[in-house]
Structure 1
């Protein structure tokens, strides 16, 4: 069993299902299992720091533990090397996911996927009256725009191949709670919540599961860049 807060069930799901996917709700907080006998998997996550404490880093380890063939994309080669040393089974690629075109091309080049877990997140803390344009651009580019871009690439492939699939967006409790000095972060996570709902509405009929989970504040996220975890193989979490 994987008891990872990154794999908690969120409040938003598409209502349509697929015979190829067995989403077993063991209890009120965890979703397991995702079964796909033939197709590859994708997870999109965040490397919070170069130490082994990031959410995305732990997601990658969990996927490897499940037997999934996993590749990790990051703009920081040092982080990739560190994770590779811990999990030799991982494949690593160095790319800046905030670069729309390069990120899109990289994900497309890796082929078709079944599972996408969006977990990119950074924060710029400061009073509302002191927020600068660059703060807004930085946070929204990582927390929302990157998520939108990669989700679009993966969802297009899922729809085109009529294979079904799942996309999980990791949001934050800050999306619905007002936090001092977090005007930009709260707004960006609120945008993720809204996007998740629309994705579920539009992609559900194509047999895509769209789920969301919330996290509490993760201090190492502040000012850090996003990463994407790409994996292929069978994933069964029980």
Structure 2
């Protein structure tokens, strides 16, 4: 990273920005100088994040987007680019899960996870990729998958399947869009503490899981900052189709 503001002048779109990893991704890119479009269904939360970014003189635009609705995706990308110019960086982060034994998962839960994590991620990438191809300046697409794309997380079949799809989508898009100077890479986070799971790590089950992890710890969203900034900036200009585990050794570890 050449300077603290090495993303100055770049426009980044972050999906799932209203909480968890997406919130942190948006803050990190804004602190590096990027203009950030904040996309999610909860616009009130996005407005709070925009205020936080504006407090350090960053530029942020809340954009209502439901990634399970293709028109909503297209409208959101159009609104972002109308306000802040062509998108240079996409952080394709929206994700949900539905814990259930495989023999009991409902079609509704399965579809909700696949429509958000796999289909939604693709159509967000397609909408932004079309714009990048049209403008001819290349770009960076950073897909957020999970260690679940490589290994089984118990009783989470749809999530595992959807994240494996995101991993393979990364390879396919990297192969197709390399000629347009669009780098498509993927981060596989391990267990990260967020608002949704914070209480779990204090339970007996959570503590037992931590005791079995290679580093006997879970990560914080800030642990992904370095990899995010690598993939968003010029340091990754000769990287595409890469899948990077940020998981404290979990993928390498055998239970």
> Is the TM-score greater than 0.5?
yes
Residue 166 of structure 1 aligns to a residue whose secondary structure is: strand
Q: Using the alignment, how far apart are the partners of 2:126 and 2:166 within structure 1?
A: 14
2:32 maps to 66
Distance verdict in 2 for CA 1:87–1:33, change over 3 Å: closer
1:104 maps to 74
Residue 159 of structure 2 aligns to a residue whose secondary structure is: helix
Distance verdict in 2 for CA 1:170–1:90, change over 3 Å: same
1:7 maps to none
Q: Using the alignment, how far apart are the partners of 1:166 and 1:94 within structure 2?
A: 22
2:183 maps to 209
Report which structure shows greater RCO (CA 8 Å, sep ≥6).
Answer: 1
Residue 103 of structure 2 aligns to a residue whose secondary structure is: helix
How far has the Cα of 1:118 moved from its partner? 0.9
**Number of positions where the alignment pairs a residue of Structure 1 with one of Structure 2:** 192
Distance verdict in 2 for CA 1:197–1:144, change over 3 Å: same
1:94 maps to 64
Q: Does 2:196 correspond to 1:196?
A: no
Indicate the larger mover: 66-75 or 180-189: 66-75
How far has the Cα of 1:75 moved from its partner? 1.3
After TM superposition, the score normalised by the length of structure 1 is: 0.71
Residue 124 of structure 1 aligns to a residue whose secondary structure is: coil
Look at both structures and tell me which one has the larger radius of gyration over its CA atoms. 2
Q: Using the alignment, how far apart are the partners of 2:67 and 2:142 within structure 1?
A: 18
1:43 maps to 13
Residue 111 of structure 2 aligns to a residue whose secondary structure is: helix
**RMSD of aligned C-alpha atoms?**
2.8
1:148 maps to 122
How far has the Cα of 1:61 moved from its partner? 0.8
